Amino acid sequence: MTNRVTRWLMPATGVVLGLLIGLAELSRGAAPAMAAVSVVIVVAYAAVISLLRSRSETAGLLSGLPVDERWESIHMRAMAAAAHILAVVLVAAFVAVEFGGGDAMPYAGIAAVLAATYLGSVAWLRWRS
């Protein structure tokens, strides 16, 4: 049952996210064709990755279902690197906007979510082990 839920999570998320992006486009006055293109891009990406994940180790990794322990390790290291780079980019953007006289609170909010998620994950994993 877990595999079935996990297998359909990416395509379902792609459809929901695509529809939300399409609705956001329409709400800001975009042409219906542009909103449809936005939906198709997101849904097609999720569908292609989902279809290729059993044939391609990279697609399996992108879908969140690595094929073996080696790819699981690559996935974990790639996610850690992405989180570190995102943290550095957020701090740099915060400083640049702050010195530029703009509102840096959106960057601070995203950085706070990133930090809280990391600390919460560490606490959860420590509690489970």
Same-domain status, 11 and 53: yes
Same-domain status, 59 and 83: no
Q: What pTM was estimated for this model as a whole?
A: 0.61
Check residue 99 and give its pLDDT.
94
**Residue 45 in contact with residue 11, Cβ under 8 Å?**
no
All residue ranges of the chain with pLDDT < 70 are 1-5, 66
Check residue 62 and give its pLDDT.
76
Same-domain status, 12 and 61: yes
**43 lies in which domain range?**
1-67
Same-domain status, 63 and 2: yes
Those residues with Cβ within 8 angstroms of residue 22's Cβ, 6 or more apart along the chain or in another chain: 35, 36, 38, 39
Q: Which of 67, 88, 113 is the last residue of a domain?
A: 67
Same-domain status, 91 and 34: no
Q: Which of 36, 67, 98 is the last residue of a domain?
A: 67
Same-domain status, 7 and 49: yes
Check residue 4 and give its pLDDT.
56
Give the sign of the dihedral formed by CA 82, CA 129, CA 116, CA 62: positive
Check residue 103 and give its pLDDT.
93
